[in-house]
Amino acid sequence: MARSAPVMISSIDPIELQAILDRIAGTMAAATERGRVADYIPELADVANDRFGIAVVPVNGEALVAGNADIAFSVQSISKVFTLTLALEKFGGAIWERVGREPSGDPFNSIVQLELEHGVPRNPFINAGAIVIADLLVDGQTPHETVQEILTYCRQLANDEGINIDQDVARSEERTGFRNVALASFMRAEGNIRAPVGHPLDVYFHHCAIAMSCRQLAAAGRYLAAAGDVHGDDARRVSMSCVRRINAVMMTCGHYDASGEFAFRVGLPGKSGVGGGILGIVPGVASIAAWSPGLNAKGSSVLASRAFEELAKATGWSVFGAPGQG
Ligand code: GLN
């Protein structure tokens, strides 16, 4: 019996896509329901809530952008995608002995589950899980060296030397991130943090404070859409097994207790951050970043989530559907 060809998610004409992005940016500029800027990290509270940007970096082609796509913002938890990639590439499957890969169904900074599960975080995207990844990365080197390694890695993934850490944001979180201190201390008590807690926390606060624009973030995430290709540089290629696993964890855990909703409404692997950014991946087609600082109650950007929903509708981009179906 003849087998039918696999369904491919199609790409889209750049002129048509630019028109879609311009329309979405126009809608978001006029939106009145914009959510609330995160204020539990004092330095983030000052960001103006009238901003919206979006960028699409196709696997084969030039970036397309609309709105405030070149303003750098705090990527926060989106950086966990890049630290997870670095850890998986360095240590392979051994990381899963110290962190799970199941959705938590809890807020990103929840403490209760961690006690019930003996200090092994549900997944690498909740704060506790990312702190374990930071602990793996800091082993054998100083926090400063580890932060530099992560920053260099992000620059390579984005092919952009202009990416930096916002030191004020890092200090702000160092001063006030007591829940993260509690998570790290508890995991240290359970033996799942090996370094003095200040080391992984230092690394974690600094990688969350990496600033990127939508254009830079979409470029950094391109390897997840491009089967591990890092801007044609063979020495830096990310393995396909790593790409598949990260996309899977983004789909199931990328938005904490709102991951099901994003999968339902958008249908793409994605990762949110409390700086208001969302990175989304259309495997084989494009990497997408949208940003607007106002958040909903679950800590996801109201307008970036809306933009992803509208983009998915207009392009038919979804890992669950056939091309062209809105
Ligand atoms: N740095 C933030 C925190 O630890 C990251 C949270 C997020 O973006 N969801 O609270």
Q: What pLDDT digit, counting tens, does each position of 198-220 carry? A: 999 999 999 999 999 999 999 99
Q: Which atom of ligand 1 is nearest to the CA of 209?
A: 1
Centre of ligand 1 from the C-alpha of residue 208, in Å: 7
Q: Give tens-digit pLDDT for 243-280.
A: 999 999 999 999 989 999 999 999 999 999 999 999 99
Q: In sequence order, which ranges of 159-301 are alpha helices (DSSP H)?
A: 167-176, 178-189, 198-208, 214-220, 222-225, 240-253, 259-265
Classify domain 14-315 by CATH number: 3.40.710.10
Separation of alpha carbons 198 and 174, rounded Å: 10
For residues 107-118, give the mean pLDDT.
Answer: 91
Ligand 1 pocket list (CB less than 6 A): 76-77, 108-109, 127, 173, 177, 180, 208, 273-274, 299
Give the angle subtended at the CA of 250 by the CAs of 279 and 61, to the nearest 5°: 45
First to last CA, the chain: 31
In order of 104, 311, 313, the CA distances from 268 in angstroms are 19, 11, 12
User: What does the pLDDT read at residue 107?
Assistant: 87
Mean pLDDT value across the chain: 94
Q: How far apart are CA 303 and CA 318, in angstroms?
A: 19
Tokens of 165: 């850490």
* ∠ Cα 278 262 289 (to 5°): 20
State the distance from the centre of ligand 1 to the C-alpha of 109, rounded, in angstroms: 8
Q: How confident is the model at residue 135 (pLDDT cuts 50, 70, 90)?
A: very high
Quote the strand ranges of the chain, DSSP E: 36-37, 53-58, 64-67, 73-74, 164-165, 210-212, 270-272, 277-282, 286-291, 294-295
Q: 195: pLDDT confidence band, cut at 50, 70 and 90?
A: very high
Q: Does pLDDT of 5 surpass 80?
A: no
> Is pTM, for the whole model, over 0.75?
yes
**Pocket probe mutation, ligand 1, options 37, 41, 300, max atoms within 8 Å of Cβ:** 41
Give the residues across from 280 on adjacent strands.
270, 288
- 272 CA distance to ligand 1 centroid (A)? 10
